[in-house]
Chain A
Amino acid sequence: MQYFKDLTEIQQMILVILGVLVFATTLFWIWKKIKPGPQVDELITRTKSWWVMAGIFTTAAVVHPAISFIAFGLLSFAALREISSISKNARFEDRSIIFWAYLAIPLQYGFAYMGWFVPFMILIPVGMFMLIPFLLVLKGHTQDIARSMSVIPTHLMLTVFSISHLAYLLSLPELPHFNAGGRGLLLFVVFLTEMNDVFQFTWGKLLGRHKIIEKISPNKTWEGFIGGLLSTIAAAYFLRFLTPFSEIQALGSGLLIASMGFVGDIIVSAIKRDFGLKDTGTAIKGHGGILDRIDSLAISAPFFFYYVYLICYL
């Protein structure tokens, strides 16, 4: 125990993540030995992709910051590519405009890396929301143009604006008496958002009776949502050593991450339903597409970022 306390906050957190993964892997392995079936097979594939994602996120969080920015930029890129490919709302003629949308990625992550806060905040919600409709007008195909005008910038919000806030955590100035820094905050929000998904899934399987929004996501239940919410708040309380929060603020961040994670999840579910898909792609094994994995993060990341910003930097 003494040894654990001597480690830095980041090292402690990596041990926690490793512990959770080893626990999940052993649990499902034993489960498969005792009672094999398709359900446990799915859980095993899911755990395998968690290993991969945990590896990517922790490496990105501990290596040179520039590498993290590139890694998050690539994640945004792959997510934007995925949603543009499955979307039936953008028209074929919009391909050259979508090319311009991709150019927002290096700019946005460049601003994040340099720590230019105002350009970072307004590039997509102000700049791209004006530029893309303007370019569409210059192209001149008016049939369904209003749909493209709203859909392409919204894709950017969901995949680039959102995830870039994870990267900006690494550029926040240092605070006195707070050692974990942006890396600690990054591990905190990503781990809690992912765990919230797991908690909701588990509580829903154990106790789930009452559906929340059957039309969008038939597996979501009140029991799962509330169980996940309480578990995530508890986890936030115990992991607050990664943040500059007081105890109350840590509990609040857990509440925020869990509820916003849920919102992100059902927004992407609704989009998929509109496109007539179950999963958004096949890039990560057993997890559907990339968008399926970052759905909760897409909303929880910016909300958590501004929560930190309002509490500690204003």
Chain B
Amino acid sequence: MKLLFLIVIYKVVMPVLLRLVGVRIRHKAAYQEQKQFIVVANHNSHVDTMALLASLPIRLLIKTHPVATANYFGKKKWLAFVSNLFVNTVLIRQKDNALQLLEQKLKKGHSLILFPEGTRGKPGEMQAFRSGIGVLLSAFPHIPFIPVWIEGTGKILPKGSFLPVPFEAEVKIGAATLAKGETVEEIVGEVQSAILALRGGE
């Protein structure tokens, strides 16, 4: 049932809406032959999550969870329910054991969509990454990360606004990469530079 919801939303409705609003998704082929991964992207708008889910092939849709903060999406019961049903999220609280839930999902063979900035910042600006992504990738060294650079969505629907306005935006999906760094900090830096590398390139 939930799969059906997700397919209708992200394979039928969302592609049309995103197209209309002006979001272009490039290099979807990056998902080919990948079974499990962590998508990491910069974050400016709720549109980012929609676009990333819409970029996934159907076979991966049900097993890929955007990571969201419970401080925002868990505030009201109905909001948590809706975001689970329509966005397939895992909600985490920013505490010591926050990553436990994510590790459970990864152990089950599921994939994650993670915004390491932790929040949508100001449009066009990338903030420092939190360390969670480094912890996860060092605990699961066989799972690759897929870097994604997103540009322009902060103008479509910025933080604090509820009125989407069409503007051209671009979602560039990079190649799946296994983290090489030894320490958590090294891995975080690696992920961050992989995302920034997509910024200027084709």
Interface residues of A (CB under 8 A from B): 77, 81-82, 84-86, 92, 95-96, 98-99, 102, 281
A92-B155, A95-B155 given as contacts; is B166 within 8 A of A81 (CB)? yes
**B4 within 8 Å of A (CB atoms):** no
> Which B residues are CB-close (under 8 A) to A81?
22, 166-168
Whether A95 contacts B168 by the Cβ 8 Å rule is: no
Query: By the criterion CB–CB under 8 Å, are A96 and B165 in contact?
Result: yes
Question: In the complex where A92-B123, A92-B155, A95-B155 touch, is A82 in contact with B168 (Cβ < 8 A)?
Answer: yes
Interchain nearest-CB distance for A209 vs B (Å): 37
Among residues of B, the one whose C-beta sits closest to the C-beta of A101 is: B165
Interface of chain A, helix or strand or loop or mixed?
A: helix
Chain B interface size range: 10 to 19
CA distance A181 to B78 in the complex (A): 57
Q: What separation, in Å, do the CA atoms of A102 and B167 have in the docked complex?
A: 11
Known: A85-B22, A102-B166, A281-B168. 10 other contacts (CB 8 A): A84-B166, A84-B167, A85-B167, A95-B155, A95-B158, A95-B167, A96-B161, A96-B163, A99-B163, A99-B165
Q: A residues within 8 A CB of B167?
A: 81, 84-85, 95
- B66, CB-defined interface residue at 8 Å: no
B129 to chain A, nearest CB (A): 25
Q: Mark B146-180, 1 if CB is under 8 A from A, else 0.
A: 00000010010010010101111000000000000
* Cα separation A96 to B158 with both chains bound (whole Å): 11
Q: List 19 A-B pairs, Cβ < 8 Å.
A: A77-B166, A81-B166, A81-B168, A84-B166, A85-B152, A85-B155, A85-B168, A86-B168, A92-B123, A95-B155, A95-B158, A95-B163, A95-B165, A96-B161, A96-B163, A96-B165, A99-B165, A102-B165, A102-B166
> Residue on A with the closest CB to B164?
A99
B22, B163, B165: residue with the most chain A Cβ atoms closer than 10 Å: B165
- Please name all residues of chain A whose beta carbon is closer than 8 Å to the beta carbon of B168 when the two chains form the complex: 81-82, 85-86, 281
A281 surroundings in chain B (CB, below 8 A): 168
Which chain A residues border B158 with CB–CB below 8 Å? 95
* B76-127 residues at the A interface, CB under 8 angstroms: 123
Q: Of A82, A86, A98, which is within 8 A of B165 by CB?
A: A98
Give min CB distance, B166 to chain A, whole Å. Answer: 5
Min CB distance A186 to B, Å, is 25
A248–chain B nearest beta-carbon distance, Å = 45
Least CB distance, A93 to chain B, in whole angstroms = 11
Bound Cα distance from A98 to B165, whole angstroms? 7
**Which residues of A have CB within 8 Å of B123?**
92
Q: Nearest residue in A to B155 (C-beta to C-beta)? A: A95
| Cα distance, A281 to B169, chains bound together (Å) | 11
CA–CA, A95 to B153, complex, Å?
12
Q: Output the nearest chain B residue to A95 by Cβ-Cβ distance.
A: B165
Q: Once bound together, how far apart are the Cα atoms of A92 and B154, in whole Å?
A: 10
Q: Which residues of B contact A77 (CB under 8 A)?
A: 166
Rounded to whole Å, the gap between the CB of B23 and the closest CB of chain A is 11
Determine the distance from Cα of A77 to Cα of B168 in the docked complex, in whole angstroms. 12
Please, which residue of chain B has its CB at the minimum distance from the CB of A78?
B22
Chain A contacts of B166 at CB under 8 A? Answer: 77, 81, 84, 102
